[in-house]
Each structure stands twice: as structure tokens, then as C-alpha cells.
A and B are shown apart, each in its own frame.
Chain A
Amino acid sequence: MSRPGGRAAALALVLLLAGHLARAGAAPPAPDTDARAIVDRVDRLLRGESSEGELTMVVTTRRWNRTLTLKVWSQGTDKALIKVLAPAKEAGTATLKSGEDIWNYLPKIDRTIRVPTSMMMAAWMGSHFTNDDLVKDSRLVRDYEIAVASEGVHQSARVWEFLLTPRPEAAVVWGKIVLEVRRNDLMPTWARYYGDDGALKRTLTFGDYRVMGGRLVPATMTVVPADRPDEATVIRYASLRFDVILPPETFTLAALRR
């Protein structure tokens, strides 16, 4: 019923949508406190940020493949508007997130539908995202204890491995998250999500690092569910701008239909 991989994608999506850390040549962090600082910096950078971007999403499943072209606007972690540009059959379909509510607009029937709680775990647009992933805020520092697990080398770059364990009260279902980050430019390389029982549930891979909208970002993210490794959702950013001024009407139900 639910598509695993969504949550990893959420982390990535939020990181991406809201802009990103990274100045080249950052100093290596001291254990723990600096690890928290890095992630905290990410969090704080996320607030108050706005963004606008175009991307393609390729979903591969056992039964079918799909490629969508999407346009995305976001404001902080609170509001997001996503519109489908292509293929023509689905162009005009839109999703609005505001707080913890989601609405879908379907152009073919010209109707706006509010997604009830019971459908929150359903796949968003057939991808490995769920509606819930769009809705959830990323509060890494608040929800997880962060520690440096190890240091190493990944594809000829020196990396840290952070271990994120959820705090007892945090409303997250993961047993742990392991995040690998490049030391020189603080780019994430991959993130692995584990259940309470220690089993890997999904893997999120980052790549194709380039400067967009004035920042270094991974332009490609891939989500692979652990129980179906032959399936994946791949996101590729074509363009991305940060700190754009977005008028308040951008995130209204009326805006869905335009």
C-alpha cells in the first residue's frame, strides 16, 4: 500500500527545495557538537527560505515506467506547490501542501480534492513518495541524536558517516538513519533508513553535484526501496532558484487550478 523510499525522498526533497549548505572548503567538524552544528545549520538554512524549480521525476516499477516534468515552489517547510508540466495527459495536475494538509487538483475533471488521513500513506503521483512525506517537516536536529559514526573515503572523496538515532519522543518511525556527507563541500552522498528491527528499509543516493541558483547542490536523487530493489524513483533538477519572492497567493487553492 505505501511506497517505501518516500521518507528518504522527503529528506532529500526538503533539503533541496529549501536550499542547501555548502561553501567549499569548510573545516572538518569536531566530533558530536560540530556534527550537530552541521545538521542544525541545514535546518536553520531551511527556515525562511523559498525556492522555485523545475525537475523531472522518473519512476520505475515492475509493471510500468513513468517520466513526469514538474515545477515546484516552496516556502520554508510549511508550504509547497507542485505542478505537472508533462506528459500532456497529466499536465495541469497539481498538489498543494499547507501545514499538514494536502490537496490535489485534477484538471481532467476540474476538481480539487482534499486528501484524508486514511490516504496519507498512498503513493504520491504513483512515485515512491507518499502524501505523508510531502507533509512531514524535516526536523533532524530536534528529532534525532546525531553522532559521527566513522570517517572514510567514498569515490575518492573523504567523507563522514553520521548516525542519526531518533529521540524517544520524536514522531518518526525510523530506528536509525545513516547519512554520509563529503567532508570538503558538505554534500550528502547517500542516506540509509532502517526500521526498529535494524533492517534496511530504503536507500537514498545523491549525485550530479553542480551549482544551481548560486549554491552547490546534488541535482540528482534516487530512492530505492529495500524490499523491491528493481524499483526506483529518480529526481533530476533542470533548474533551481533560491530566495525568490513568492507572493502569498502562490500557495492557495485557487493557485492549484491555474
Chain B
Amino acid sequence: MLAPIEKNRVGPEPLLPSPPLGERGACIRNSGLGLALRLGWRNLWRNPRRSLLTIGAVAVAFAVLILLVGLVEGIARQMVANGTRLMLGHLQIHDADYLPGRSLHDTLGGPEGTDLPALLAAVERAPGVRVAAPRVQGFGLLSTGPRSAGAQLVGLDPGREARVTTLLGALVEGRGLAGASPRSVLLGKTLAEELAARVGDEVAVVTQAADGTIGNELWRVAGLVQTGLGALDRSLALVAIGDLQALMGLAPSRIHEIAARLDDPEGAEAAAATLERSGALPAHARARSWRRLAPELVDYVALLRGSNWMTILIIGLFAAFGVLNTMLMAVFERTRELGVLASLGVRPRQVLGIVVAESACLAAVGLATGLGLGALGMTYLVRHGWDVTRWTEGITVAGVLFDPVMRAAWDWPGTARVAATLAGITVLAGLLPALRAARMKPVEALAAPVE
């Protein structure tokens, strides 16, 4: 009944390999999981081309999904980095009244100010905080002879600021503030154009001082910065913190803001809460994470991740469809043999097991290959990224500059979820044909034409 295997035979091969004579009975009786798997595996390779192609489809789908998850994770992290590293920082500390009015009088610790070195040290001791930088902020009028314009004045500590944000690194002309002579200012490029000011020129600055007098001073343009964000480039004037305090009549102990950089942006909420509870902050001070300061950014990242999951689902379903396709064909063309098996006494549950095992093996090999391919692709994308600068200069989304070199980042939980989802879907896809196979009536099956 079970003919020996012929080479060069075209058409479906028998379901069971030809065992040594004495073991035939044993074969049929011994129907545990291990046997189902072994059979499933062997059945897979009875039609190598078809199996390889299907495995290929699953592998490509899985690799693509890994890359998608990695890319979206990478882009999300880049957006957060761009949004926080330019000027916001991961965390900011202000007097509770300071936002949103930004009155120059609402300094940390009130009119007496605060012990700045001690406060900075205390902030940096909080878990997850790497560096903290102090800032003084105000609004003033800049003038170069006939032209004048309003500007946002920001007093910085260049050394600390450079370790918290990339703002000072946006220098496009001239030199930075570190080590510059006193009363040097960096202007936003668009602001400088409006003032017709060049590096080396003098600008007069006028502002309301804390004691009500008119603070005024002459500053020299040391350099120009260009962040790419129009709102900043049109209005920023950066100086050393001491210079701005002198102009505004603020004592050195009075600052408006501390911006901090963390090891991991995701820890910002926890760090802010810890700082507020710790008592290290001056009275009436508040710590806020970037999530609360830039909610549009948070929304956009959520949108990115959400729509990515829809993509993953669709591609996954597609790959599963391919598996279903293949397995259905496999089952149908072996209808006759399944009938033979059934009439031999193999129970439907066992038939189910064999077919499911086949699709499981398919899925497993596909996933493993896909993982390998995906890992290769990820390694490249993580290290070099995907450069789309050619098409995309200076896009901002949710108020943040979009980085034209898209780098991927490993997202282990996400990848694991994708693997589980895909594995689940493909095995489920194999279930349908398996159920069909198991339910086949032997008499009908035996009568089916050989396809």
C-alpha cells in the first residue's frame, strides 16, 4: 500500500516514509508530539521549493517588521532627543509662579535667590540626572544704529549648557561663548539679519531691570546661531549668565530656570517627582519633565507608534495569508493520503497535530531566518542610518526638527511582541487547513482525484 519512494517522481510524496517492515505497526501506534513534529518537519521538505518560498515570505515579512519597529523606535527617540536636547532639556525647574508669564521677578527661591552651586549639586545627585545648567531669561530691545528689534535674552553658563543642550553647538559663524570676552552675545541668524548685525558688531540692549530702572548695555556679537527653528532663530540672544544678571539688576544668586539632562529621557517624570519630594529644591519651586513641557511631542510619538502597529498588523496578516495559502495547497494535494492515514486508524487529533506541526516548522524556520535578516539590517541602520537628506531639508513636526538621517534603535520588548504576534498569526493560519485535514472523511478523501 505504501510504495517505496521513487526518485524523479513528480507529484505528492507519501505522507509516511517507508519504515522497516517490523516497525510499521509501531509507527502508527507511537503518535506522540515528537512524532508529529518529526513528521511535520519531513513533510515540509517533501516540496522544498514551495516550502522555501513560503519560508522566504515569512522571513522577509518578519525582517521587515523588525526593521519597521526599529526604525520607528529610532525616529521616536531622535524626535525626543531633538526636542529636548536643543533647548528644553529633559527636565526643568522653576519657581511655581514663573510659567507661563515668565516675569523676571519670579526667580528660584524668590527675591533672595538661592545657593546656586549647592542647588546644582543637589539636582545632579538625583537618580538619573547627569548635568544641570542654570539660566536667566528676559525680554529686551536690541539695536544697531537705525535698526532695532525685540529679542529673547537668555543668560547661560556655557560649560554646563554645552553638556545639557546642543544650543551652543548650533553656532554657524564666529565663536562661542566659552572663553569669550565679557559682554559677548550670540544672535539668532534671522535676528542678526533683521538688525543688519555681523560678527564683531556692537549691539545696544535695553531691558526692564528688576529695580524698575532701565537696564542698558553694549554687547559685542561674538557669533551667530542657527537652530533651524524659525521662532528661535528670529529672537534668540545668548549671553553669559553673569552679563544678563548684571543687565537686569539681578544678584548672582537669582536665576529663573535650571535645565537638566538625564541618562534616559524616559526617566524624566520619575526624576522630577523625586526632586520635588527630596526637599533639595528651594521653597515654592517645581520640577517638570519634558513630557509636561512639550505635550505635542509626546502626542506625535504616540501617533507614530500607534500607526506603526497598524502597519505591523497588516503585514503580519499578509504573511499569515501566505502561510495559509501554502498550507491549504499542501493539504488539498494530499487529500488522498490523508484518507489513507485515516483509514489506517490515525485519529483526527493526530492528523491535526501533524499538519499543525508542519506549519509550525514553517513559521519557526521563517522567523529564525527573518530574525537573522532583520538583525543584519538593524545593525546597518543602527550604525549608519538611512539618509534622506536629499528629499527632506529642514522639516519640523510637532515643533521639532526632523532628523534627515533616520537611525534605528533596538526595541527589545517591541521586537519580542512582533515575533510573538507573527508566530501566533502564522500558526493560527496553519490551523485552518489542519482542521480541514482532520475533519476529512476517509471515504471521500480516498476518492479524491490526485491533483
Contacts and interface: CB of A to CB of B under 8 A. Distances in A.
A93 B212 contact: no
Contacts of A109: 204, 216-218
A93 B141 contact: no
Contacts of B216: 106, 108-109, 111
Contacts of A147: none
B6 interface: no
B213 interface: yes
Given A106-B204, A111-B218, A90 B146 contact: no
A63 B214 contact: no
A61 B213 CA distance: 12
Contact of A113 (B105, B204, B208, B213): B204
A115 B146 CA distance: 10
B112 to A, nearest CB: 13
Contacts of B148: 113-116, 119
B206 A123 contact: no
Nearest to A124: B214
Nearest to A104: B206
Interface size class of A (residues with CB under 8 A): 20 to 34
Nearest to A118: B150
Nearest to A123: B208
Interface string B215-226: 011100000000
B214 A66 contact: no
Given A111-B143, A113-B206, A61 B212 contact: yes
A2 B274 CA distance: 39
B211 A66 contact: yes
A125 interface: yes
Interface string B189-224: 000000000000000101010111110111000000
A126 B213 contact: yes
Nearest to B207: A122
B365 interface: no
Interface string A71-115: 000000000000000000110010000000000101011010111
B440 interface: no
Given A109-B218, A113-B206, A115-B141, A66 B213 contact: yes
A89 B215 CA distance: 11
B448 interface: no
A90 B213 contact: yes
B231 to A, nearest CB: 15
Contacts of A63: 105, 111, 210, 212
Interface in A37-70: 59, 61, 63-66
B154 interface: no
Contacts, number: 60
A90 B105 contact: no
A113 B212 contact: no
Contacts of B212: 59, 61, 63-66, 126
B436 to A, nearest CB: 76
B110 to A, nearest CB: 11
A94 to B, nearest CB: 12
B149 interface: yes
Contacts of B105: 63
Contacts of A125: 214
Contacts of B204: 106, 109, 111, 113
A217 B208 CA distance: 32
Nearest to B103: A63
A113 B211 contact: no
B143 A114 contact: yes
B210 A64 contact: yes
Given A109-B204, A113-B141, A93 B210 contact: no
B138 to A, nearest CB: 13
A123 B208 CA distance: 9
Interface string B80-111: 00000000000000000000000001000001
Nearest to A87: B213
B215 to A, nearest CB: 9
B213 to A, nearest CB: 6
Given A63-B105, A126-B208, A106 B214 contact: yes
Given A104-B206, A113-B204, A119 B141 contact: yes
Contacts of A122: 141, 208
A125 B213 CA distance: 7
A114 B111 CA distance: 32
Interface in B103-144: 105, 111, 141, 143
B206 A106 contact: yes
A131 to B, nearest CB: 11
Interface string B278-309: 00000000000000000000000000000000
A175 B72 CA distance: 56
B401 to A, nearest CB: 26
Contact of A64 (B206, B211, B218): B211
Nearest to B104: A63
A66 to B, nearest CB: 5
Contacts of A113: 141, 143, 148, 204, 206
28 contacts: A65-B212, A66-B211, A66-B213, A89-B213, A90-B213, A90-B214, A104-B206, A108-B216, A108-B217, A109-B217, A109-B218, A111-B143, A111-B216, A111-B218, A113-B143, A113-B204, A113-B206, A114-B146, A114-B148, A115-B148, A116-B141, A116-B148, A116-B150, A118-B149, A118-B150, A122-B141, A125-B214, A126-B213
The 6 closest A-B pairs by CB, nearest first: A126-B212, A113-B143, A106-B216, A111-B204, A64-B212, A109-B218
Interface of B: 105, 111, 141, 143, 146, 148-150, 204, 206, 208, 210-214, 216-218
Given A61-B212, A116-B149, A126-B213, 15 more contacts: A63-B105, A63-B111, A64-B210, A66-B212, A66-B213, A89-B213, A108-B217, A109-B217, A113-B141, A113-B143, A114-B146, A116-B141, A116-B150, A122-B141, A126-B214
